[in-house]
Amino acid sequence: MAKPPRTEEGWYALHDFRTVDWDAWRAAPEREREAAVEEGVAYLEEHERVVDAEEGASAVFSVLGHKADLMIVHFRPTLDALSAAERRFESTALAEFTDQPTSYVSVTEVSDYVSDSYFDDGEEETDEGIRRYIEGKLKPDIPDTEYVSFYPMSRKREAEQNWYTLEYEERSDLLSAHGEIGREYAGKIKQVIASSVGLDDYEWGVTLFGGDPADIKDIVYEMRFDEASAEYGEFGPFYVGRRFPPTDLSAYLDG
Ligand code: 76R
């Protein structure tokens, strides 16, 4: 058996997609719409302030295209906290106007590939810079940049291309070449990679944040030519959205 990497898990992630029933929204009496906006804004503000848990991060995005209208992203220390956040949304008057076409559950992870010294020497012994880098991956903040892209992906398990039968060294080399491309986008793209093995339909959820949607397109495209993705990447549906402050909910719904 090829050696699995050691991993450490951080915050759990829920990508909660919602469609709005626009006909019902337009047909609803004004006071119902007002109550929905008021409760929706309160829900989003409280979750962005993380009043429901010790730590975490949340944000809301408007999603382009037919797949969804809203994406609410929550990072929390436990799966239970995510479940509570999801159910709490259902109790708002806004939820009466929404459906959940899809969702994604995952957990942030760092592995040996990122830093074997962290796993060999333990947290205390690890270089301060690396420790902060790892902490940032396990407990990601959500940047203020405007655009987001989310997609699930897996590594192939096919007869000729099987990531899971490659030797550890080979996987590690492929991912460090992958990381070199990634670092060219420093300052332009922030990525959150969270494992969904055993939790959802693909193996990772990828969330890319950036100020320019062209950078999102470029990083994904460039990585397609890199062996880790070209040979072993398998992708699910893509969702692209724009962050908005909770107080703009009314403008989004009525705009
Ligand atoms: O040695 C190193 O520097 C590698 C560090 C690293 C790892 C281990 C790294 C860096 N990634 C790693 C693992 Mn990544 N990443 C993606 C995508 O669309 C695509 O083709 C892929 C989607 C992007 C855009 C991205 C960006 N990465 C992984 C894994 C887990 C693999 C496994 O365990 O088998 C996946 C699925 C994945 C996918 N990666 C980086 C980036 C960027 C921007 C970096 C460099 C910046 C940074 O390290 O934070």
**Which residues, in sequence order, are CB contacts of 167 under 8 Å at separation 6+?**
2, 3
Q: How far apart are CA 208 and CA 184, in angstroms?
A: 14
Q: What's the gap in Å between 117 CA and the centre of ligand 1?
A: 18
C-alpha atoms less than 13 angstroms from C-alpha of 39 in its C-beta half-sphere = 16
Catalytic residue flag (residue 151): yes
At 171 the pLDDT is: 97
**Which residues, in sequence order, are CB contacts of 78 under 8 Å at separation 6+?**
12, 53
CB atoms within 10 A of CB 77: 15
Average pLDDT over residues 50-58: 98
Q: What is the pTM of this model?
A: 0.96
Q: Is the CB of 102 under 6 A from ligand 1?
A: no
| pLDDT-based confidence at residue 64 (cuts at 50, 70, 90) | very high
Residue type, 253: L
Residue type, 2: A
Q: Is the CB of 223 under 6 A from ligand 1?
A: yes
Going by C-alpha positions, the residue among 65, 141, 73 that lies closest to residue 105 is: 73
User: Which amino acid residue places its CA nearest to atom 6 of ligand 1?
Assistant: 179
Choice among 151, 185, 232, 239 that is catalytic: 151
Residue type, 251: A
Q: How far apart are CA 186 and CA 183, in angstroms?
A: 5
229 CA closest ligand 1 atom index: 20
With tokens 């004004």, the residue in question is 30
Q: Is the CB of 111 under 6 A from ligand 1?
A: yes
CA angle, 222 as apex, 216 and 227 as ends, to 5°?
130
255 or 17, higher pLDDT: 17
Residues of the chain with pLDDT > 90: what percent? 93
With tokens 């995510």, the residue in question is 82
Q: How far apart are CA 43 and CA 51, in angstroms?
A: 10
Mutate which of 193, 231, 234 to test ligand 1's pocket (most atoms within 8 Å of Cβ)?
Answer: 193
Residues of the chain with pLDDT > 70: what percent? 100
Residue 122, pLDDT > 80, answer: no
Residue 123, pLDDT > 80, answer: no
| pLDDT-based confidence at residue 114 (cuts at 50, 70, 90) | confident
| pLDDT-based confidence at residue 1 (cuts at 50, 70, 90) | confident
pLDDT tens digits, 2-48: 999 999 999 999 999 999 999 999 999 999 999 999 999 999 999 99
Give the CA distances from residue 208 to residues 14, 117, 193, 218, 222, in Å, rounded to whole numbers and listed in that order: 15, 27, 9, 12, 14
Q: Name the strand (E) or helix (H) holding 160.
A: none
Q: Is the CB of 229 under 6 A from ligand 1?
A: yes
Q: What's the gap in Å between 175 CA and the centre of ligand 1?
A: 7
Going by C-alpha positions, the residue among 14, 10, 11, 140 that lies closest to residue 82 is: 14
Residue type, 160: E
3-state secondary structure of 203: coil
Q: Is the CB of 153 under 6 A from ligand 1?
A: yes
